[in-house]
A = this chain, B = another copy of it.
């Protein structure tokens, strides 16, 4: 599996992804699932991927190939005029890659080659935008009501995102929140693993901002992981105590 989160803040975009890939439990590898392209001062576009690794790598490689064939640059992440068109083109590539693989493997391969992606970025003159791309190639965009997207193993880390996310939060707080969400997921599911990749895209800089790979040795992540266990237990202890005798609707 995988766990990736992209969120929109007033200040810009924050992305985090894990790096574990597995085919069964005895074939585990580390692969980067976050890629980005930038033309400093003009645009920055980032992609995070979940699902069949051969599929997602094929899509990323095709995007890369196009950017490296000057003169034939069309429909690339560098020349699409809007983030909407970037998402449309990546969606098309994703669907085509999956369709081709499924067709080559007949009904037997049904569903085996699917993948989904988060696309984030900003192009000069426009707002930062965040998209979730489905295996079918269509996509949805983050909004005021739904300001973050998760792909992969999304459930363990969702409750804290729902409760602590705030559009006005600082990048530092957003990174802290993502680390807590990832730590909850790492602790519960073997298919999500360290190291993590993290990137901040500050609004109107049109460049990849703060980037970091968070490994087992990362002292801040260690502090969050240990501290969150203690904090949760303290928070739990501070809640009002249950009594077997206080309730009106008690039946036994």
A39 CB, nearest partner CB in chain B, Å: 16
A244/B172 in contact, CB under 8 A: yes
Other-chain residue from B200, B236, B249 in contact with A213 (beta carbon distance below 8 A)? B249
Other-chain residue from B184, B188, B249 in contact with A212 (beta carbon distance below 8 A)? B249
Q: In residues 187-218 of chain A, which contact B (Cβ within 8 Å)?
A: 187-188, 200, 208-213, 215, 217-218
What is the bound-complex CA distance between A250 and B229, given in angstroms? Answer: 26
Q: Is A171 an interface residue (CB 8 A)?
A: yes
Q: Is A54 an interface residue (CB 8 A)?
A: no
Given A172-B244, A188-B158 in contact, is the A239-B249 Cβ separation under 8 Å?
no
Cβ-closest chain B residue relative to A185: B159
What is the bound-complex CA distance between A229 and B163, given in angstroms? Answer: 6
Interface membership of chain A positions 218-229, coded 1 if the CB is closer than 8 angstroms to chain B and 0 otherwise: 111001100111
B218/A247 in contact, CB under 8 A: yes
B208/A242 in contact, CB under 8 A: no
Cβ-closest chain B residue relative to A228: B239
Cβ-closest chain B residue relative to A215: B249
**Copy count, this protein chain:** 2
Given A220-B242, A228-B235, A244-B171 in contact, is the A212-B250 Cβ separation under 8 Å?
yes
Q: Which residues of B contact A218 (CB under 8 A)?
A: 247, 249
Cβ-closest chain B residue relative to A157: B159
A217 CB, nearest partner CB in chain B, Å: 8
Q: Which residues of B contact A243 (CB under 8 A)?
A: 172
Other-chain residue from B155, B179, B240, B242 in contact with A242 (beta carbon distance below 8 A)? B179
Q: Is A58 an interface residue (CB 8 A)?
A: no
Given contacts A159-B159, A172-B243, A232-B232, 13 further A-B contacts (CB under 8 A): A162-B187, A163-B187, A163-B232, A164-B236, A172-B242, A176-B236, A200-B244, A208-B252, A211-B251, A212-B249, A223-B239, A227-B239, A231-B236
Nearest 10 CB-CB pairings of A with B: A155-B155, A231-B235, A159-B184, A235-B235, A172-B242, A211-B252, A175-B242, A176-B242, A164-B236, A210-B244
